[in-house]
Amino acid sequence: MKIKLRDLQLSDKEHFFSWIKDKEVIRYSLSIFQKMKDNNEISNWFDMLLLEKSSYNKAIVDDTEKKLIGYAGIAQISETNLSGEYFIFIGNKSYHGKGIGTFVTKEIINNGFQELGLNRIMLTVSEKNIGAIKAYTNANFKTEGVMRQGFYRDGKFHDKVIMAILREEWG
């Protein structure tokens, strides 16, 4: 399997319909995903995503199978502070737990520092999302703190871990 990143395209939208409706896939994902129920809401969100100027969005593709499996990037890019917030969403469940998160995280971080000229890239992650925390740690993210009970899923509050990587720590 060969993973590559490319620009998101309008034709990628159709994949998100089934992914976002799958509770298992979105369990630890964006809060907005928890609220979207139909294709129209998902379509509107995706259209806005393509127009977003303060985000760096890339499609994650299994190049061997020529199949879209998710997307990742950096949101809320501040040109003033040279910072942004990393995100990744692997919508195709058959690719979970295969080390793709670590690979993609490292690629996006490289692009954030090289292409975008950022100094700091942060993220937040549920303490229950052990696989993601492992991927972020493997990509040299450092834990900065905890947002106590900052995450609510499955009828329970969980802590949200704040992690970041600085340009001087990357490489």
Rounded mean pLDDT of 71-80? 96
pLDDT over threshold 80, residue 171: no
Please list, residue by residue across 43-54, b when 16 or more beta carbons sit within 10 angstroms of its beta carbon and e when fewer do. Answer: eebbeebeeeee
The ranges assigned to domains in the chain are: 3-169
Q: What pLDDT, on a 0 to 100 scale, did the predictor assign at position 37?
A: 85
pLDDT digits (tens, 9 = 90+) for 105-164: 999 999 999 999 999 999 999 999 999 999 999 999 999 999 999 999 889 999 999 999
Contact predicate 61/4, CB 8 Å:
yes
Average pLDDT, the chain: 94
pLDDT reported for residue 86? 98
Task: For domain 3-169, give the CATH number.
Answer: 3.40.630.30
